[in-house]
C-alpha cells in the first residue's frame, strides 16, 4: 500500500503515487476494459488520485476513467484533469480563455460522468492570454461547484508567482498545485520551481518520473531500436542519434549499474528519487498495461540512502536537464524569433 501526503495547504491527503491516464485510449492502450482493470487495481492498492486530460486520446482517456469510477468509486477518488490543448479542429477549441474553459469543463464533466472535478489544471501556459482571464473563469467554476481546486502544469516559476499575486490582489481562487516534469534525467525544476512551490505552499505532482520510458529498464546502450519507435513521433526527445539523447543513454547505463548495486530495479530507483524530494506530494505513474503498474507500485515503499542520492547527483547534477527538449515547455520568447527581434529594418552597412 502507498502512503499519503498533504496536498499543499488544502487539508486533502493524496497518495504518494497518482495514476496517470495518458496511456489509456488510442494513444496507448485502446482496450477500455483493460484500462478499467488497471485503474481498479491501482485503487485497490491505495492510490486515491487519478490524473487525465481532455487531449489524451481526444477525450477517450477521460471516458475510460469515467467508466472505471462508476458504481460508487467516484467519491473516494481525487480526480484531476486538464484543459488547454487542441480538442477538435475548430481554432477556438483550445487555449486558456474564458470562452473555451467554460465549454471544456462541460465536455470533461460529461466524459468523466461526474458532477465535479477535484483538480482542474491549466495544461500549459498561454502568454498571449491574460492569466487573470483564466483564473477569473476558473474561480467562477469553483463557486459554481463544478471544480474544487485549480492547478497548473509545466509553468515557469515567474508564472507560478504571478498566479499567487493575481489571487491575492484581485480576489481570485488560488492555484494550489503545479504539475511539472521531473526525473533523474530532467532536474531543471530543482532550481526554482520546487523552491517556489514550497515557499507558497503549493502541492507538486510531477509527471514523467521515468523520463518518458528512458528509466524503465528497457533502454541500454546497444538497444537503440527500442527507443527509435518513439523517435518517429518525438525525435528531439527520443532519437538516440542526437547528442543530447546519447548523453541520456550514457547516464541511464550508469544509473542501471547503481540500481543493481543498491538491489533495486531502475524503475524503483527513478520513482523513489522523485518522491524523496521534500517538495513533492505525489508522483504520476502512467502505466499502459497491468504489468507496468505492478512494476511501479513498490517504488512508494523505497527510501534511497544518502550514499545512493550522492551517486545520482554525480551522474546528473542537481538542477540539470540533460536534454532541453524534456523540459515540457519552451516559452514563445525563445521559440518565436519575432519576439526576440526589433521590428525596425535598419539597413546593414
Label residues 246-269 b or e (16+ Cβ within 10 Å = b): bebbebbeebbebbeebebbbbbb
In CATH, what class is 4-213+275-288+317-334? alpha beta
Tens-level pLDDT at each residue, the chain (349 residues): 789 999 999 999 999 999 999 999 998 999 999 999 999 999 999 999 999 999 999 999 999 999 999 989 999 999 999 999 999 888 889 999 999 999 999 999 999 999 999 999 999 999 999 999 999 999 999 999 999 999 999 999 999 999 999 999 999 999 999 999 999 999 999 999 999 999 999 999 999 999 999 999 887 666 555 555 566 788 999 998 899 999 999 999 999 999 999 999 999 999 999 999 999 999 999 999 999 999 999 999 999 999 999 999 999 999 999 999 999 999 999 999 998 888 755 544 4
Please report the DSSP string for 184-212 in residue order: SSB-GGGTTHHHHHHHHT-EE--B-TTGG
E strands, 36-186, in order: 49-51, 78-83, 117-122, 147-153, 175-179
Query: Do residues 2 and 30 make contact, with C-beta atoms less than 8 angstroms apart?
Result: no
Hey, which residues are catalytic here? 56
Nearest in space to 176 (alpha carbons), one of 110, 108, 120, 97:
120
Please work out, in degrees rounded to the nearest 5, the angle formed at the alpha carbon of residue 144 by the alpha carbons of 141 and 147: 50
Please work out, in degrees rounded to the nearest 5, the angle formed at the alpha carbon of residue 239 by the alpha carbons of 238 and 244: 80
pTM: 0.94
Amino acid at each position: 500500500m502507498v502512503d499519503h501526503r498533504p496536498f499543499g495547504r488544502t487539508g486533502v491527503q493524496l497518495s504518494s503515487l497518482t495514476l496517470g491516464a495518458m496511456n489509456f485510449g488510442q494513444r496507448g492502450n485502446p482496450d477500455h476494459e483493460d484500462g478499467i482493470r488497471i485503474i481498479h487495481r491501482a485503487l485497490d492498492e491505495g492510490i486515491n488520485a487519478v490524473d487525465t486530460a481532455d487531449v489524451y486520446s481526444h477525450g477517450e482517456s477521460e471516458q475510460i476513467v469515467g467508466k472505471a469510477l462508476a458504481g460508487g468509486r467516484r467519491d473516494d477518488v481525487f480526480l484531476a484533469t486538464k484543459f488547454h490543448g487542441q480538442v477538435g479542429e475548430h481554432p477556438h477549441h483550445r487555449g486558456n480563455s474564458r470562452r473555451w474553459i467554460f465549454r471544456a469543463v462541460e465536455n470533461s464533466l460529461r466524459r468523466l460522468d461526474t458532477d465535479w472535478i477535484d483538480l482542474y489544471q491549466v495544461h500549459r501556459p498561454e502568454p498571449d492570454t491574460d492569466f487573470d482571464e483564466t483564473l477569473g473563469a476558473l474561480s467562477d467554476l469553483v463557486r459554481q461547484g463544478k471544480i474544487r481546486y485549480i492547478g497548473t502544469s509545466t509553468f515557469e516559476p515567474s508564472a507560478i508567482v504571478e498566479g499567487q499575486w493575481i489571487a491575492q490582489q484581485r480576489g481570485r481562487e488560488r492555484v494550489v498545485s503545479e504539475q511539472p516534469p521531473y526525473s533523474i534525467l530532467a532536474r531543471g525544476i530543482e532550481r526554482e520551481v520546487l523552491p517556489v512551490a514550497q515557499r507558497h505552499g503549493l502541492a507538486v505532482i510531477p509527471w514523467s518520473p521515468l523520463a518518458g520510458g528512458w528509466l524503465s529498464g528497457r533502454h541500454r546502450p546497444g538497444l537503440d531500436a527500442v527507443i527509435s519507435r518513439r523517435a518517429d513521433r518525438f525525435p528531439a526527445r527520443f532519437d538516440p542519434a542526437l547528442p543530447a539523447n546519447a548523453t541520456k543513454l550514457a547516464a541511464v547505463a550508469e544509473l542501471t549499474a547503481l540500481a543493481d548495486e543498491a538491489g533495486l530495479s531502475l524503475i524503483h530507483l527513478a520513482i523513489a528519487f522523485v518522491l524523496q524530494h521534500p517538495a513533492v506530494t505525489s508522483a504520476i505513474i502512467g502505466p499502459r498495461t497491468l504489468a507496468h503498474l505492478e512494476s511501479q507500485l513498490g517504488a512508494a515503499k523505497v527510501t534511497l540512502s544518502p550514499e545512493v542520492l550522492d551517486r545520482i547527483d554525480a551522474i546528473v547534477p542537481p538542477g540539470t536537464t540533460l536534454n532541453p527538449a524534456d523540459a515540457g515547455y519552451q516559452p514563445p520568447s525563445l521559440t518565436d524569433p519575432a519576439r526576440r527581434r526589433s521590428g525596425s529594418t535598419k539597413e546593414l552597412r
